[in-house]
Amino acid sequence: CIGHMDRFGEKWAQMLRETQISKRMSKRASEFQTRMVEKNKHEEEEEEASNEALKCKSNQNHSVPWIRESRHK
């Protein structure tokens, strides 16, 4: 029954190899996903910051005529 054990051993070794490969692949995939999430988060933060800047600008623009008007009175 040694031949059977050899075949079983080969199958087992192949399975282990495939498991290792898939583990490595999934690790890479999860690292990639983490990087993408970080990148997206960073881009969203930058977008929010620029929106805040725009809001500030438009508020300043709105307040300037009001100040001028109050000076005229």
**Residues 32-45: pLDDT tens digits?**
999 988 988 888 88
pTM of the model: 0.42
The per-residue pLDDT for 31 is: 93
Give the distance from CA 57 to its chain's centroid: 30
The pLDDT value recorded for residue 66 is 59
What's the token pair of residue 32?
């990639």
CA distances (Å), 38 to each of 26, 44, 48, 57, in order?
Answer: 18, 10, 15, 29
Q: Count the domains in the chain.
A: 1
Q: State the residue range of the domain holding 73.
A: 1-73
